[in-house]
Structure 1
Amino acid sequence: MIELTLENFDQEVVEQDKPVLIDWWGESCENCIALMPAVEELSEKYGEQMHFTKFNTSQKGVRRFCIKHRIMGLPVMSIYIKGEKVEELGKDDCTKENIEALIQRHI
């Protein structure tokens, strides 16, 4: 999985030909950290069909960026196609099964 930053976001999300999954997470979000192994496993399973990335919302200077992308709580899994957010799962809906169904809808 690619670790996103403000510097590589356009290259890794906007300019991708494949659909992109972004795992929005934070260092103090226990649910986010608990989900990581499941998302890594899905990345290995579907990595040929979808570009898997993660964005640490705890990075310095990203608050406005996260608000711009409507990330108000964590965890959030978003699907972007050609730079546009097309669907996302938030908080209680972020289970391995729901994330896999989200991926399958967009590959």
Structure 2
Amino acid sequence: MSLSTVTDETFQELVLDQDKPVLVDFWAQWCPPCHMIVPVLAEIAEERADTLIIRKLNSDENPLTARNYQVMSLPTLILFRNGSPVWTTVGARPKARLLADLDAVLQTADA
């Protein structure tokens, strides 16, 4: 499963206006760790398709959105819920750790 892409123009509709939580992967072509995390995110997107949306945003091609959310390093993952960022992490991380962090944030938000 490939991850769907979002741009400066589609960010509002495809991220902020969604009913489900949306994890956005801010990445760039020149960034090796960005490429390392893609298979992990694709697996999570497939496994959690009913509860979580994952999108990719190329920071070089969409600088406005990256700047709006103060993305300084890549990859940066930002979890949005009800149109607001609720969690951010920088750098590639193992799937188990990423899922544990996401679950903790999502469970706290559900409480």
TM-score of the aligned structures, taking structure 2 as reference length: 0.85
Q: Give per-residue Cα distances to partners, 1:41-100, cap 9 Å, x unaligned.
A: 1110011101111111121xx3243121111001111100111100011126x3322221
Q: Which runs of 4+ in 1 moved over 6 A?
A: none
Conserved 8 A contact 1:13-1:82 = no
> Are 1:76 and 2:81 counterparts?
no
Count the aligned residue pairs.
104
Matched letter for residue 63 of structure 1 = P
User: What residue in structure 2 maps to residue 101 of structure 1?
Assistant: 100
Gaps of 5+ in 2: none
* Amino acid paired to 1:102: D
Query: Residue by residue, what CA displacement relative to the aligned partner does 1:15-38 show, whole Å, maximum 9, x if unpaired?
Result: 100011111111000001011011
Q: Give the equivalent residue in structure 2 for 1:63.
A: 63
Which residue pairs with 1:27 in the alignment? 29
Contact 1:75-1:91 within 8 A present in 2 as well: yes
> In structure 1, how many angstroms separate the alpha carbons of the residues matched to 2:31 and 2:79?
20
Residue 45 of structure 2 corresponds to which residue in structure 1?
Answer: 43
State the TM-score, normalizing by the size of structure 1.
Answer: 0.88
Paired with 2:76 and 2:84, the residues of 1 have a C-alpha distance of 16
d(CA) in 1 for partners of 2:91, 2:18: 26
C-alpha separation in 2, matches of 1:70 and 1:98: 23
2:26, 2:66 within 8 Å by CA — same for their partners in 1? Answer: no
How well do the aligned residues superpose, as a CA RMSD in angstroms?
1.5
Percent identity of paired positions between Structure 1 and Structure 2: 25
